[in-house]
Structures are given as structure tokens and as C-alpha cells.
Chains A and B, each alone.
Chain A
């Protein structure tokens, strides 16, 4: 072998050849290192991001209660001893008998407030849990005087303790900003009680509308372009346009959505045409406007991906189908679509994730800055998780920054769930040729 290499004219001789191989090896190793560095940079950045979020999601808070739970317990339930550990005494308030809870509320709240609460739902019909929460929110009224990041809480405990000791009536608690209450509570201007439920529901509604609009339309357009459209200049022109549309900044889509869905189609998107929705206050700035706008935004991506997936279906399958006397429609419906489905789903996952994370166009079409009521249909006013997170980060108080971090974790978890569902769906339909 070696002899042959040195013998063949035009090729390097034995010695040169060895050196040549070494040089090639070195070059390969250099590239390998570069790829490794690139990967490491990615991992480092991702870890930094996650650490930063976690850092803000947990940590000490200094709490000051208007009325200490211990004091309440001493008066109303002397037999129940308050716990030493922070937080557990709140739990005891939720476990008191309902008679006692109602008594506490009647004794501490103003007549007017009681009447309002009664009219929402009579007190003695509410659950223990609900009454306990009411007591904590209205009677105990905890305020966060200060809050610290996880890093500070772990490494500067002594300093934090000293600081809190000087605050009047404050106690130190280790607090998880991400907690079940956070997920199920509506928006509030008090960081102690604010939750992300309204925004989660808003996001889900908006994305549902987005999917309902863009998936069928996008896939149908892709089928038309791939299977029916005449190949030619017009098709090329359309293809170029769609590719360009996929690159248009999302804020432009926001402006488009504002002009079309919010303004021009206001009777439709505001719901007044159907007699639903609160058209006088929503001005067309509704879930359906937001969903359709994001639908337009991801439509080009879905079309491009779906076309790709349809093109990847082996030509032999189409020929076999036509060869049996199938019509174009039968070929598309029975063979092309089912075989392209995994690819279409994969592409759509990415597009839908993008819609889920969009903020700018929603700001433009007018997401509500502050709503407490859950969205109850496509014609409600809306906020989404990204909007909510954005608004929290924009507030001056540090507490809202922690809420934003917790919100990001919920958002990431939902995105992960969304992707996992899609991957599961894709694997279910996966076919091999």
C-alpha cells in the first residue's frame, strides 16, 4: 500500500505523504476544537440564563403583617399554637373552621367591603381555603418590605438578617416566587398576591386561535402550491414572496394586525356583530385579533415547512397512487398528507412556539395592561404571558422582577410541554419508507 502511494506519479512520495496525513489530522483536530468551543459557549449562555432566572425566583423576603397571624390565633383559636417556622402560621389560618374564619372577617373588615364580598358570593358558602386566603389578603395583609435574590440569600444571610432586624415589625421568610398560588392567582397590583393565571389563559386562547387559523390555511396553501399549482414564473414569484414574508420583523405584523383586525374589522373582532364580548371597552383589541395577527405572522413559516415536508414525500408513492387510477385529491389525502404529517407537525411546533413567545406585535395591537378577569372567549380583552412578564420587568419595585422570573419559568415549562406534545404526536405518525 505504502509502496503504491510512493510509486504513483503525481502523488507525494512516502515521506511527504506521512507529513501530509499529519497536517490533515491537525487541521481536523483544530476544527473539532472550534466546534467544541462553540458548543460550550452555547451551553454556558444557556446555563447563565437559567441561573439568572432561578436566582430571581427564590430568596428571602422581609414580610410585615398588619395583624400577625399569631395574634389572630391567640384571640380566635387559643388552642391552636402558631408554629415557629415562617409561613406555616398562614396555613393554620386556612385550616380554621369556617365559622371562626367568617367571624374574623366580620370583625376586621369594613361594612362596605363585607357587603361587596357577600354580593360576589355569600361568605358562609365559600370554602375554607378561600376564606383563609381572604383573611390573609385582607386582615393579615402581608407586605414585602424587601426581597433578595437566591445568591444573596445563600451567601449573605448574616447581613440580610441584620438588615431585617432593624426593620420595624418585619420578619424574614424564605420565599419561592414560583408557587402554586402564583400559577392560579389572577393579576394583582400587590406583588404578594399577583399571579399569572390570567396571562396563561390569555396565551393559551391566543395560541389556540393562531393554530386554528394558520395550520389549516398554511397546510392548504402548501398543498395547493406543491400538488396543484403549475410550476412556473407565478409559482416562483409566490415562493419568493412567502420566503420574504417569513423574514419580516414581527412588529410589522403588529401594525398590519392593528390596521386590519383591530381597526378595519372591529365589528367582527370586537364581537359586537355577534352581540358578544364587551365591544364598548375592547375596541377590537381582543384575543381573536391577537390570535389572527400571530397567525399571519407564522403563516409563511408554516407554509414553507409544510411545502418542504410535502416535497419530501417520495415521488414513487405519488406515481403508485396515480397509476392505480387515483385522482389528485385521493393521492393527496391518502398518501401525500399522511406521509408529510410528521414533517408538517415538526415545522409547526417551531412556528407555534414562536407565536407563544411573541411580544412586540401584541403590544402594538393593544394587549391590556392590567386585567384581572379571566378571558372567557375569543372576544375578550387579553394579556399574554410574555406581555405580563414584560410589564412586570418594567416596574420599578424589585418584587415584580422576581414575579417576572417566576413567570418566565412557567412560560418555559409551558413551551416545553407544547413541544413535548408535538414530538409525541410526530413520533406517533412517524413512517419509514
Chain B
């Protein structure tokens, strides 16, 4: 496993690495869709190499906040972002930051498994290739698939279509694909919501494994999942304008056993949402 750390990471001139405690922080983040404000005044410091869960009722802006961490909101024409997202001491929304570079270092796994209509091998190799990876591609593919706990299931059919896999396998393939470009942070938007309980458990196991090397931010609707897998939990809710805000944030055990806010308690005990 340690050899994955020795794989060269392309140097990033405009964002320099240092030994900070936080992997990424949102500061006074506001996101609008046209005239509608989706989230307001989000201040969130994500701990390095921990799993942070974002929970909250549907429509409270969890996905919106998650996407603002790697500028995926840029792809939504009506979306507008205010505030700052600091990554290695640099605001990723600054004019001189290239979103392409941000996304390479802050990877993403989506709610619905979305492998490319290519072979399993190509699914994993493509991201590395377009990002200029010059090492041993076969080795990288194998490592990524191993890390995603998929290698044993697919090693004999690397050249079959990614669509020949089951839903849970497809999602792990998407995780392997994200890992292959060696990001520092992996964003996951309800990665297990389309999967059965067994596949869900495998993904959770995998996340715990990945935490050793990556910072993970995961959106989930599943309270047990958040409690089981995450180190920190951020609870979002909506105000009277249906604008989302961060209601409570803290270590998961604290938030679940001893919530400071009434609304958090109502939500996690199932009396709300």
C-alpha cells in the first residue's frame, strides 16, 4: 500500500502543499442558483485524513456545498458562488486558479454510478493519462482497483465494459477511477444510495480504508451510515427562505450523542426531515 504514496504527483505551481491541519475550508460561502440563494454563510473546516459527513434534510444544500469544494458548480450555468474556499492557503475561486487543476486534486464520486462506456481498465487509466501520468499505467490501474477493493473481482476481465459490472462494483470502479488521479480529497455525494445494504457496507469499509491516505467528505441521508463511518459530521438545515445553512458541526460521536441544538437532535432521532 505505501507505494501509492511514492507515485509522483504532478507539481502544482499555483497551489503549494504544506502541513496544515485542515484539508480544505469554506469561509462565508454563499451559493446562488439564479436569484435563489441555496446556501448562506457556510464556515466549515474539513480535517485532514478524516471522514466528514454532511447530513441534513433534502434540499438543504449538501450537494451544493460539496460541489463548491471542487468547483463543479461552475458547470451549472445559473450557479454563482461567493465567499472563499481555501485549499493549501489559496482561495480556489481566485481568478488565477484553474478549476481543472482543482478538480484533479479534489476528486469526486457521484450518487449514481457513472462509469465511462469504456473498458474497466480504460475507466481507471483515462484520468491518469489525460493528467499527464508517465509511470507504469498497468501498475497504477492495479493499485487503484486494489485500493477500491475491486481488483479480485475484475482482474480477469479488465477489458470488458465498465457496464458489465453490478451497481456496487460500478460505484467502486468510480472510486478507483477517482483514486487513480491521486487526489488529496475525495468528495462523495451519497455514494451508496443506489446500492443494497451489502454493497453499502463494502463502500463504507472502503471509505475507512481510504481515510488513511485521503481526506473524504461524504454526503449521506443515512444517519447510521454517518454515525458508523464518519469522524466529523456537519448538519445542515434550511431557514424560512429555504436557504440552507450549517446548523451544527463537530466530532460525530459528540454530535450524535450530545447534540447542542434542538433541531439537530430532532433530525438525528428521526423526528424531523
CB-nearest residue of chain B to A324: B127
* Residue among A316, A319, A323, A335 with the highest chain B CB neighbour number at 10 A: A323
Contacts of A327 in B (CB 8 A): 100
Tell whether, in the assembled complex, residue A316 and residue B114 are in contact, meaning their CB atoms are under 8 Å apart. yes
Tell whether, in the assembled complex, residue A325 and residue B177 are in contact, meaning their CB atoms are under 8 Å apart. no
The answer, among A231, A316, A324, A335, for a CB contact under 8 Å with B178, is A324
**Does B273 sit within 8 A of A, measured CB to CB?**
no
Interface residues of chain A: helix, strand, loop or mixed (majority): helix
The list of the 7 closest CB pairs from A to B, nearest first, reads A325-B104, A316-B114, A324-B127, A323-B108, A325-B103, A431-B117, A320-B114
Contacts of A280 in B (CB 8 A): none
Q: State whether A432 and B72 are in contact (beta carbons under 8 Å apart), knowing that A319-B110, A324-B178, A324-B181 are contacts in the complex.
A: no
Contacts of B166 in A (CB 8 A): none
Interchain CA distance A111-B25 in the complex, whole Å? 100
**Does B101 sit within 8 A of A, measured CB to CB?**
yes
Interface residues of B in 38-79 (CB under 8 A from A): 70, 72, 75, 77
Mark contacts of A320-344 with chain B using CB atoms, 8 A cut-off: 1 yes-contact digit, 0 otherwise.
Answer: 1111111100100011000100000
Q: State whether A325 and B77 are in contact (beta carbons under 8 Å apart), knowing that A316-B112, A320-B110, A431-B117 are contacts in the complex.
A: no
Interchain CA distance A325-B107 in the complex, whole Å? 8
**Does B126 sit within 8 A of A, measured CB to CB?**
yes
CB-nearest residue of chain A to B109: A323
Interchain CA distance A323-B116 in the complex, whole Å? 12
For the A-B complex, the count of residue pairs with Cβ-Cβ distances under 8 Å equals: 67
Interchain CA distance A433-B115 in the complex, whole Å? 9
**Does B35 sit within 8 A of A, measured CB to CB?**
no
**Does A119 sit within 8 A of B, measured CB to CB?**
no
Smallest CB separation, A285 vs chain B (Å): 47
**Does B131 sit within 8 A of A, measured CB to CB?**
yes
Tell whether, in the assembled complex, residue A323 and residue B100 are in contact, meaning their CB atoms are under 8 Å apart. no
Tell whether, in the assembled complex, residue B75 and residue A339 are in contact, meaning their CB atoms are under 8 Å apart. no
Smallest CB separation, A340 vs chain B (Å): 12
**Does A230 sit within 8 A of B, measured CB to CB?**
yes
Contacts of A314 in B (CB 8 A): 114
Contacts of B181 in A (CB 8 A): 324-325
Contacts of A334 in B (CB 8 A): 126, 130
Tell whether, in the assembled complex, residue A326 and residue B100 are in contact, meaning their CB atoms are under 8 Å apart. yes
Contacts of B174 in A (CB 8 A): 320
**Total B residues in contact with A, Cβ cutoff 8 Å:** 28
Contacts of A335 in B (CB 8 A): 116
Q: List 16 A-B contacts (CB under 8 A).
A: A231-B77, A316-B110, A316-B114, A317-B117, A320-B110, A320-B114, A320-B174, A323-B108, A324-B103, A325-B102, A325-B105, A325-B181, A326-B100, A431-B117, A432-B161, A432-B163
Smallest CB separation, A333 vs chain B (Å): 10
Contacts of A321 in B (CB 8 A): 116
Contacts of B108 in A (CB 8 A): 319, 323
Q: State whether A330 and B77 are in contact (beta carbons under 8 Å apart), knowing that A317-B114, A322-B72 are contacts in the complex.
A: no
Interface residues of B in 85-113 (CB under 8 A from A): 100-105, 107-108, 110, 112
The answer, among B75, B127, B163, for a CB contact under 8 Å with A325, is B127
Q: State whether A323 and B130 are in contact (beta carbons under 8 Å apart), knowing that A431-B117, A432-B163 are contacts in the complex.
A: no
Smallest CB separation, A339 vs chain B (Å): 6
Q: How large is the interface on A (under 10, 10 to 19, 20 to 34, 35 or more residues)?
A: 20 to 34
Interchain CA distance A323-B126 in the complex, whole Å? 12
CB-nearest residue of chain B to A318: B75
Interchain CA distance A330-B181 in the complex, whole Å? 15
Mark contacts of B170-197 with chain A using CB atoms, 8 A cut-off: 1 yes-contact digit, 0 otherwise.
Answer: 0000100110010000000000000000
CB-nearest residue of chain B to A316: B114
Mark contacts of A406-433 with chain B using CB atoms, 8 A cut-off: 1 yes-contact digit, 0 otherwise.
Answer: 0000000000000000000000000111
Contacts of B117 in A (CB 8 A): 317, 339, 431-433
Smallest CB separation, B170 vs chain A (Å): 11
Mark contacts of A127-167 with chain B using CB atoms, 8 A cut-off: 1 yes-contact digit, 0 otherwise.
Answer: 00000000000000000000000000000000000000000
Tell whether, in the assembled complex, residue B126 and residue A230 are in contact, meaning their CB atoms are under 8 Å apart. no
Tell whether, in the assembled complex, residue A317 and residue B116 are in contact, meaning their CB atoms are under 8 Å apart. yes
Smallest CB separation, B162 vs chain A (Å): 10
* Residue among B70, B72, B100 with the highest chain A CB neighbour number at 10 A: B100
Interchain CA distance A314-B114 in the complex, whole Å? 9
Mark contacts of A297-316 with chain B using CB atoms, 8 A cut-off: 1 yes-contact digit, 0 otherwise.
Answer: 00000000000000000101
Tell whether, in the assembled complex, residue A324 and residue B72 are in contact, meaning their CB atoms are under 8 Å apart. no
Interchain CA distance A314-B115 in the complex, whole Å? 11
Contacts of A316 in B (CB 8 A): 110, 112, 114
Tell whether, in the assembled complex, residue A325 and residue B72 are in contact, meaning their CB atoms are under 8 Å apart. no
Contacts of A319 in B (CB 8 A): 72, 75, 108, 110, 114
Smallest CB separation, B56 vs chain A (Å): 22
Q: State whether A320 and B100 are in contact (beta carbons under 8 Å apart), knowing that A432-B163, A433-B163 are contacts in the complex.
A: no
Smallest CB separation, A239 vs chain B (Å): 15
* Residue among A231, A320, A325 with the highest chain B CB neighbour number at 10 A: A325
Smallest CB separation, A422 vs chain B (Å): 21
Interchain CA distance A231-B117 in the complex, whole Å? 27
Smallest CB separation, B152 vs chain A (Å): 24
Tell whether, in the assembled complex, residue B77 and residue A324 are in contact, meaning their CB atoms are under 8 Å apart. no
Interchain CA distance A276-B54 in the complex, whole Å? 71
Tell whether, in the assembled complex, residue A324 and residue B110 are in contact, meaning their CB atoms are under 8 Å apart. no
CB-nearest residue of chain B to A319: B110
Contacts of B127 in A (CB 8 A): 324-326
Tell whether, in the assembled complex, residue B116 and residue A325 are in contact, meaning their CB atoms are under 8 Å apart. no
